[in-house]
Amino acid sequence: MPTEVPRPKNVGRPPRLSLEAIITAADRILHSEGAEKLSMRHLANELGSTPMALYYHVRDKDELLLLVMEMHAQRIPRPQLPDDPRERLVTTAVMLYDLLAERLWIIDVLTGDDLIAPSSLWFVEVMIDAAVEYGHSPEQAVYVYRTIWYYIVGDLIIRVNSKRRRARASHPVYEDEVIAGLTSGTHPQLAAVADRWAELNARDTHREGLAAIVDGLLPQRSEAHD
C-alpha cells in the first residue's frame, strides 16, 4: 500500500488583498486598540499578509488613517438642521461631539497630525456659517468654531484619560484623596462637595457646556447689528 505523502503547505504570494479589506481591518484595530496600536505590520498580521502587500494599496499609515476617517465621514448622515443660527450652531457642535465620542481614536489622530477627512468639513462650514449669519465677521466666526473645537477635544481627552486611569487604579484615586482631606476652614466650597467630587466630575454635561460656550461667543442680536 503506497505511503501517503503529506501535502506541502502553500507558500509564495500572500492572499490577494483589496483596499476595502485593508480599510475595514484598520478600522477594527483603531476601534478596539486605538490609533497608537495601528501599524502596517500589525495590520498585515491581522490580514494574514505582509506589510509590502499593503503598500501596494496605500502609501503609508497617514494615508490609511485618512482613508478610514474619510469612510466614517462619508457615512455620517446630514440631518435637517434648525433654521435659527444659534440653535444650528449648538446642534452641530453636539452632533460632532457625540460622533467623536463614539470614535475616540479620531481624536488621537487629529491632535497628533495635520490629517483631516475632506467629507467632514461640512461641520466646520455649518458652524462658521451660523456664526456669520448671527452677526460675526468671517474671521470672528473662525474663532467661534475653533473655541468650540478646542472644548470638544479637551473635554473628550480629559474624560477618556480619567476613565482609563480610574479603571486601572487598584486604590483610591489621588485626586479624590486630596479633595476628601480638605477642611471647611481652608477650602469651604470644595469641602462641601468633597464626598460627591468623583460623581460630579463623572457627570456628562457636554450639551450644557457647548450651549453655554455658544451663548458666550455669539454677540447679542442688538450688538450684532449696531
User: Which tens digits make up the pLDDT trace of 80-110?
Assistant: 999 999 999 999 999 999 999 999 899 989 8
Tell me the average pLDDT across 11-28.
81
What pLDDT score was predicted for residue 52? 93
Q: Could you tell me the three cell numbers for 120? A: 467632514
Q: Is the pLDDT of residue 65 over 90?
A: yes
* pLDDT higher at 23 or 108: 23
Q: Which one-letter DSSP state was computed for residue 84?
A: S
Condensed to tens digits (0 to 9), the pLDDT of residues 123-179 reads 999 999 999 999 999 999 999 999 999 999 999 998 887 777 777 777 778 888 999
When pLDDT is cut at 50, 70 and 90, the band that residue 224 belongs to is: very low
Q: Name the fold adopted by 79-221.
A: Tetracycline Repressor; domain 2 (1.10.357)
User: Could you please report the per-residue DSSP string of 159-216?
Assistant: HHHHHHHHHH-SS--HHHHHHHT--TTT-HHHHHTGGGHHHHHH---HHHHHHHHHHH
Separation CA 39–CA 17 (nearest Å) = 17
Separation CA 160–CA 155 (nearest Å) = 8
Task: Tell me the C-alpha to C-alpha distance, in Å, between residue 181 and each of 44, 173, 214.
Answer: 51, 13, 36
Sequence ranges of the domains in the chain: 16-75, 79-221
What pLDDT score was predicted for residue 221? 58
Q: Which one-letter DSSP state was computed for residue 26?
A: H
Q: Is the pLDDT of residue 112 over 90?
A: no
Q: At residue 225, what is the residue type?
A: H
Domain 16-75 indexed as CATH 2.160.10.10: no
Separation CA 26–CA 31 (nearest Å) = 9
What pLDDT score was predicted for residue 84? 96
| Cβ pair 136, 221 in contact under 8 A | no
Residues in Cβ contact with 180 at an 8 Å cutoff, skipping those fewer than 6 apart: 194, 195, 197
Q: Could you tell me the three cell numbers for 225? A: 447689528
Q: Could you tell me the three cell numbers for 3? A: 505511503
Within 10 A of 166 (CB to CB), how many other CB atoms are there?
15
| Cβ pair 104, 114 in contact under 8 A | no
